[in-house]
Amino acid sequence: MNNPENKKWTQLWLQYKAPEGGLPKAWNALLRVSVSGFDPENRIVKSALEELRRGVFSMTGKDPEILPAPASDVSCVQSARGACLVIERKKDIAPQGYRVRTESPAGAADSTADSAAGGAVIFLEAPDENGLLYGIFRLLFSAQLCGDPEEAAGLFEPDAPLRMLNHWDNMDGSIERGYSGRSFFFRDSQFLGSDRIRDYARIVSSVGINAVVINNVNVKDAASCLVTERYYEDLARVGGIFADYGIKLFISINFAAPMEIGGLSCADPLDESVAAWWQETTDRLYAAVPYLGGFLVKADSEGRPGPFTYGRTQADGANMLARCVKPHGGCILWRCFVYNCTQDWRDKKTDRARAGYDNFIDLDGKFDDNVILQIKNGPMDFQIREPVSPLIGGMTGTNQMLEVQIAQEYTGQQIDLCYLIPMFKEVLSFKTYCTKDGKDTVSDIVCGRTFGNRESGMCGMTAVCNTGDDACWTGDDLAAANLYGFGRLCFNNSLGTEQIAREWIGLTFRLGKKNSVRLL
């Protein structure tokens, strides 16, 4: 695959290859840019405009011109004669969404018009910096796919408020259930350099990902110390890189950290000294790492410590931590993968498939409002075929997010080709019948339409990621379709599986105009 910057890794679908015959004249608008309503010094705005420059230069050999004065309406653009991209802040769009529309410029039919003539005036409107970034990526993608600017037009608002990737990276560099090399975050209990992490942030933000957990949910050894001063500087660096692309940094934490690194005698969530230790630790961490989104916790499962050790509930454990991060605007992602991993399979009285439901259903409504229960798509463990977890739709008073697995643990370890988007679509479209108004699919629930928690942002979708330090990121080139597809599906649950595949193919492999596809 093409690697124009001579790095040791590919750019996946961010290769910015011009269509055969060059970029169509209709896209001349990308050569002149006017920005209104956005701070040019904002870190996300800078990243968006740099991505625009990178993409346009790769496809045309020219740097886009930033017009000296913002254009507030089309007449200002027309007076400059020719096509232009007009970026404006608009508040009538949902958070992190954007709108693309086009108008014909004055002088476009005039043969004496300058080299920018002949294209449309493209308006990119967004309510915030994330929306601006996603809109820029859409325009660059559409230009590569040979579509006309008019085909890129429309209103695009994200379905899932939280669109997350979970990494199962260990700090020794290994990756649990990883099939794509070693970690590009960690090696020998140290953080690695920034270049590849920045490219990763670019890649996943291009499909709308806005949150990333960088370490394994099975927290042990040096990873327990991620909440300490030992790693403040590294976390701040990585958090800053992610913040440049509108991504919140999350870390997995060890529930027993007060004992293992804090010197306390217990980790009981109702013990005042434990709560005080977590509050002090969290306050110091946020002061050093301002872009931290919160913590992911795996408790009371597969040997991981948790509140059950002290006769407490999962809500007791989650709420204690939630109160620590709440003053900083953080949230707690609490995994519902809780079961007895030492049970005898011959014991017919023990039903593992019921474990998650039995442990959580009676706690509905007892979790704080900044706790999100992270629920696997099925009641077991990412099996090839499973029914939908009964917790989704079974709990009506608790924030929920759907957890799926992109890494092919049970579908060929990334050796076999397995396109996972049809399975994800099937789960999202499953009707739970939890309401009578028709907003009862898994998609409705995890996107906040069913129980009214959409505006809080405390819901969404997450996936166990399939990336590593292999040159192609995902073990083989074709496995990247699942990474691309998950991001696109988070942003737009209604996209078809074939549509997503065609987009990814068109952006990744140079196929020419015959194989062009419209970006929906």
- In this predicted model, what pLDDT tens digit does every residue of 248-304 receive, in sequence order? 999 999 999 999 999 999 999 999 999 999 999 999 999 999 999 999 999 998 778
Per-residue confidence (pLDDT) for residue 120, from 0 to 100: 80
How confident is the prediction for the chain on average, in pLDDT? 91
The answer to whether residue 483 sits within a structural domain is yes
Tokens read off for 445: 């629930």
Per-residue confidence (pLDDT) for residue 506, from 0 to 100: 92
Our count of domains for the chain comes to: 2
Tokens read off for 330: 């953080």
Per-residue confidence (pLDDT) for residue 414, from 0 to 100: 87
* Domain containing residue 149: 25-157
Per-residue pLDDT of 131-172, as tens digits, reads 999 999 999 999 998 778 998 999 999 999 999 999 999 999
**20 given a catalytic annotation:** no
Residue 454 has pLDDT above 60, yes or no: yes
Per-residue confidence (pLDDT) for residue 351, from 0 to 100: 78
The answer to whether residue 14 sits within a structural domain is no
Same domain for 197 and 98, yes or no, is no
Per-residue confidence (pLDDT) for residue 252, from 0 to 100: 98
* Spatial CA neighbour of 250 closest among 361, 374, 424: 374
Same domain for 167 and 123, yes or no, is no
The answer to whether residue 143 sits within a structural domain is yes
Q: What is the DSSP letter of 205?
A: H
Same domain for 112 and 206, yes or no, is no
Per-residue pLDDT of 373-398, as tens digits, reads 999 999 888 888 999 999 999 999 99
Same domain for 226 and 275, yes or no, is yes
Q: Domain of 292: which CATH number? A: 3.20.20.80
Q: What is the DSSP letter of 16?
A: -
Per-residue confidence (pLDDT) for residue 79, from 0 to 100: 47
Q: Which of 147-156, 218-227, 251-260, 342-351 has the lowest mean pLDDT?
A: 342-351
- d(C-alpha 437, C-alpha 435), whole Å: 6
The active-site residue, picked from 195, 381, 386, 426, is 381
Same domain for 273 and 392, yes or no, is yes
Examine the fold and report which residue of 157, 181, 197 is the final residue of a domain before the chain moves on. Answer: 157
Same domain for 86 and 177, yes or no, is no
The active-site residue, picked from 151, 172, 271, 302, is 302
**503 given a catalytic annotation:** no
Kind of pairing, strands 292-297 and 460-464?
unpaired
Residues forming beta bridges with residue 123, ordered by sequence position: 86, 101
Same domain for 273 and 401, yes or no, is yes
The answer to whether residue 291 sits within a structural domain is yes
- d(C-alpha 417, C-alpha 29), whole Å: 39
- d(C-alpha 356, C-alpha 382), whole Å: 14
- d(C-alpha 209, C-alpha 487), whole Å: 6
- d(C-alpha 14, C-alpha 368), whole Å: 40
281 Cβ contact list (under 8 Å, min separation 6): 227, 228, 257, 262, 324
Per-residue confidence (pLDDT) for residue 75, from 0 to 100: 52
The percentage of residues in the chain with a pLDDT greater than 90, rounded to a whole number, is 78
Report the predicted TM-score, pTM, of the whole model to 2 decimal places: 0.94
Same domain for 74 and 202, yes or no, is no
Same domain for 116 and 202, yes or no, is no
Examine the fold and report which residue of 94, 125, 157 is the final residue of a domain before the chain moves on. Answer: 157
The answer to whether residue 2 sits within a structural domain is no
What DSSP element (H or E) covers 238? helix 232-244
Per-residue pLDDT of 110-121, as tens digits, reads 433 334 456 789
Higher pLDDT, 300 or 516: 300
Examine the fold and report which residue of 157, 186, 213 is the final residue of a domain before the chain moves on. Answer: 157
Please check whether residue 318 is in contact with residue 333, taking contact to mean a CB–CB distance below 8 angstroms. no
- Look up tokens 């739709």; give the residue: 393
Tokens read off for 128: 């915030």
Same domain for 170 and 146, yes or no, is no
- d(C-alpha 486, C-alpha 461), whole Å: 9
- d(C-alpha 170, C-alpha 177), whole Å: 11
Same domain for 90 and 207, yes or no, is no
Please check whether residue 150 is in contact with residue 120, taking contact to mean a CB–CB distance below 8 angstroms. yes
Note the helical H segments in 224-383.
Answer: 232-244, 257-260, 272-288, 314-325, 355-360
Measured at the CA of 183, the angle between CA 179 and CA 184, to 5 degrees, comes to 125
Chain centroid, CA 384 distance in Å = 23
Q: What are phi and psi of 292, to 5 degrees?
A: -75, 130
- d(C-alpha 77, C-alpha 317), whole Å: 57
* Spatial CA neighbour of 495 closest among 478, 518, 473: 518
Residue 443 has pLDDT above 80, yes or no: yes
The answer to whether residue 20 sits within a structural domain is no
What DSSP element (H or E) covers 103? strand 98-103
The active-site residue, picked from 129, 409, 440, 444, is 409
The answer to whether residue 185 sits within a structural domain is yes
Q: Domain of 109: which CATH number? A: 3.30.379.10
**381 given a catalytic annotation:** yes
Same domain for 242 and 150, yes or no, is no
- d(C-alpha 47, C-alpha 49), whole Å: 6
The answer to whether residue 9 sits within a structural domain is no
